[in-house]
Amino acid sequence: MPAFGLVDTIIVVVYLLGSVALGLLANRVISGIGGYLVAGRSLGTALAIATMTGSELGLITVMYQAQKGFTGGFAAFHIGVIAGLVTLAVGLTGFIVAPLRETGVMTIPEYYERRFGRRTRILGGVLLALGGILNMGLFLRVGSQFVVGVTGLDPQGGTLALIMFGLLALVLVYTVLGGMVSVVLTDYAQFVVLSIGLVLMVVLAAGELGSEHLVAVVAEHRGLAGFDPSIADAGFGPGYIAWMAVLGLVSAAIWPTAVTRALASKSVAVVKRQYALASLSFMIRFLIPCFMGVCAFVFLVEAPGVVMYATGPEGQAVAERGVIASHFALAPGAGAPLHENIEAFPILLANLLPVGLLGLVTAAMLAAFMSTHDSYLLCWASVLTRDVVDPVLRARGRPLDERAQIRLTRVFIVLIGLWVLLWGLLYSPSQDVWDYIGITGAVYFTGAIAVLSAGLYWRRASSTGAVLALLAGFSAVLGLGPVQRLLGLQAPSWLIGLGTLALAFVAMVLGSLLAPDRDAEEAAR
């Protein structure tokens, strides 16, 4: 395997230092909370698309979609196709994002208060922050696993923890100082670097392994299940496909880190163009990593000396060949350290790319890591400040001024970062990372879809219905592996997610009809 050499290291270090420098420069141009959170609402179409793609195409995205390609074959491509089509529909119709931008709010819970009152905003802010922070709980760990895989470091001992700490420190520096201006600037730079890296990876992998050979190996090992997601053996099925349509809608129109770009855009017209044009990048951000996961599967199946290991009931390694389940680990050669299957993609890169190019692609992947972390940290911290703490203090006659809001947001950024570090070290998911992300996000977005849809498009939607819908969304925690084991459940995450979504809409409708707001009653008459 090619060594991760000095040239590669220099490329990565220079790039990371440059990103931090952008964050420091951004600190000089911040003017008030509007500049810190939504960049003064100054984003044009091109910059909005670049920063949205840069944020949503994170290293975590590349890794969990590569894992899906590794475990599901070409059948996993349906995730990207659905995401692109749903995002295009949002751009053409402006569903949710256009009327939300017209309100002039900075966050989704801020809209909750305008439409349904303060208690809805506080509850919505708590659930949004809870779901979002849980959702990014594995980001830091997976990013560090990429570094381990691509550099050939031993994942045992304290190596993973040291890498996690170092990456987190870099992100915290420029996110705390620069806010949304820092995020936008770094996202744009990382969008360019990452685009180049992705194209290079695909060209080299396809040239090295051969497209016909990839298809033949997947067919040999997986049969039709490697190509058709609708059949049960594919590990997906019709219910899972429907859940992917929901997640596609969420990632475009509901998920705060994407919606923040809409709220930071110059106008509603820019918002619609932004989503319509970004639909292609939303599709590609899933398809390319899935393809690389398929390449990693073919490479490792055929690599001499590679043995696949499943984890036994007591945690011991059980050797298997020819079949790769979603929680297998990889041991390239006798005596080599065990690797989880999510590290298959970086192991492929380390064996595929020459010195220099390996450093460039690694820098691109770490750029993706940073662009996602800065957006998520800022988003959840700002929600806690503006949508939980400030409304509570305002109710007591002690609202936070802008400088206090910025200071508190920075404190929350650091605290959330430390929590992500701890969670990544202690929590081991019992499902694919993508499925973990989907179900943790559902704690927020299943209720949010019901509340936003009803609030923006149904005049009779009431605050009671909104509160009930948000509380119903919390039941998505039943899809988490540890919760299911505790309660003795064995339901797939997609079933829990779809069930929670239906429950949230029922709660919204029934709550609104049985306990209408007085203004809505008068308007209906």
Q: What does each of the 525 residues of the chain score in pLDDT, given as a tens digit?
A: 456 778 888 888 887 777 667 656 655 544 444 444 444 444 455 555 555 555 566 788 889 999 999 989 999 999 999 999 999 999 999 999 999 988 888 788 989 999 999 999 999 999 999 999 999 999 999 999 898 888 887 766 688 888 888 888 877 876 666 554 555 555 666 667 777 777 888 888 888 889 899 999 999 988 999 999 998 766 899 999 999 999 999 988 898 877 876 776 777 888 888 888 888 888 888 899 999 999 999 988 877 555 444 444 433 444 443 334 444 455 555 455 566 788 889 988 888 888 888 888 888 788 778 777 777 888 888 889 988 999 999 888 888 888 888 889 889 989 999 999 999 888 876 678 899 999 999 999 999 999 999 999 999 999 999 999 999 999 999 998 888 888 888 889 999 999 999 999 999 999 999 999 876 554 444
pTM of the model: 0.83
Residues 332, 333, 335, 337, Cα dihedral to 10° = 0
CA distance 75 to 233: 11
CA distance 86 to 247: 9
β-pairing verdict for 317-320 and 329-332: unpaired
Which of the listed CATH numbers 3.90.1170.50, 2.40.160.40, 1.20.1730.10, 1.10.20.140 matches domain 6-426? 1.20.1730.10
Note whether 386 and 107 are within 8 A (CB): yes
Q: What is the pLDDT of residue 502?
A: 97
**What are the residues whose beta carbons fall under 8 Å from the beta carbon of 314, sequence distance 6 or more?**
none
Note whether 248 and 82 are within 8 A (CB): yes
Q: For residue 317, give the 3-state DSSP assignment.
A: strand
CA distance 447 to 127: 9
CA distance 279 to 222: 30
Q: What is the pLDDT of residue 514?
A: 95
Q: What is the pLDDT of residue 314?
A: 39
Q: Which residue has the tokens 């599901």?
A: 72
The residues spanned by each domain of the chain are 6-426, 429-525
Residues in the chain: 525
CA distance 384 to 386: 6
